[in-house]
Amino acid sequence: MIIVLKAGATGGEITQVEEKIKAHGLTVHISRGVERTIIGAIGDERKLQLEAFEGMACVEKVVRILKPYKIVSRDFQKEDTVITVLGQKIGGDTVALFAGPCSVEGREMMLGIGGQVASSGASFLRGGAFKPRTSPYAFQGLGEEGLRYLAEAREETGLPVATELMDPRDIDVVVKYADVIQIGARNMQNFRLLTEVGRLDKPVILKRGLSATIMEWLMSAEYIAAEGNRQIILCERGVRTFESATRNTFDVSAIPVVKELSHLPVIADPSHATGKMTLVEPLAAAAIAAGADGVMVEVHHDPESALSDGPQSLRPEAFREMTVRLRKIADAVGKRLGRV
């Protein structure tokens, strides 16, 4: 339920509405605009009667949110959410560019790629330190050592760092080094993990699950938002279908659909969507044209010898050339690509 207060509502009146909501066991979210204050009642709305609020002198109107996801819905917040991390924006008129290797393999490698993607206009540096894989025998990542290399690359380039969190037991060490936390596709419905990151004051990238519907994706985002963390970035990375020509089927339609349903920024990961380096650029272009607020691309100096996901990784020079062409797509839709 959303309760819109009249212009000039006093602090005492706001408190009165807040206490009435809490008395019914619901939580309160207050959004103070320039002219009006909007109060969201989060929880089982059936416990509240519209008439109990419509009769208050300070209330302009009361609206029920019918969707099961409340906080992340466009009904709850009309304007787009824009997230700023170390001066870099995700949302609004900017197309953020996340770039870096799938896995941090070493210090020199990470510093080298970090410098190269930064010089090409990337706005965020990505890299995996904890890499549990489908096979238990595959490279599992460097752990905290890899996080230290990411942090060192941030110091040299000025780029905020995004890295994946896979286990609630690793939260403290990941938060220590990362600027943005990524929740991977296989953990989209790990509700314990979502609840834990929802209690952090740190932006979270939530990737769409392998076979998740858009509704399920948004409900997972609601788990994070319900704990207080509203800095959520949704990431379309392809879904599993019958098609075998690509690793996954990239659902470009999800981008405008989600932006219609939710105020959260949406980015795309064409690298994981296709698993093929030759398809990364066309799908990145399609995502930007469809309204994506960012693109996440894997970059490796020697894809043939990469310890993970080499076939989908661009060489630094290919990444640089791609960004030149993607800027034209961003310009065409009234946005700017890359570092602010």
Query: Domain holding 36: CATH number?
Result: 3.30.70.1140
Residue 34's pLDDT is 72
Q: Does one domain contain both 253 and 166?
A: yes
* Whole-number pLDDT of residue 160: 98
Residue 43 pLDDT: 79
Same structural domain, 184 and 325: yes
Overall domain count for the chain: 2
6 lies in the same domain as 123: no
CATH number at 251 reads 3.20.20.70
Do 53 and 116 lie in one domain? The reply is no
pTM comes to 0.90
| pLDDT of amino acid 134 | 63
pLDDT in tens, 245-258: 999 999 999 999 99
> Is 73 a domain residue?
no
Strand order in the sheet with 59-63: 27-32, 37-42, 2-5, 59-63
Same structural domain for residues 37 and 129? no
* Strand positions, DSSP E, 186-313: 204-207, 232-236, 266-268, 294-298
Q: Is the pLDDT of residue 132 over 70?
A: no
Residues 150-183 have pLDDT tens digits of 999 999 999 999 999 999 999 999 999 999 999 9
Q: Which residue has the tokens 């990505």?
A: 126
Q: Give the chain's length.
A: 340
**187-221 pLDDT, tens digit each:** 999 999 999 999 999 999 999 999 999 999 999 99
Residue 270 identity: P
Q: Is the pLDDT of residue 133 over 60?
A: no
Helices 214-226/254-261 angle, 10° precision:
40
148 within 8 A of 177, measured Cβ to Cβ: yes
Residues 158 and 233 in one domain: yes
Residue 72 lies in a domain: no
Query: Is 321 found in the same domain as 201?
Result: yes
Boundaries of domain holding 230: 83-337
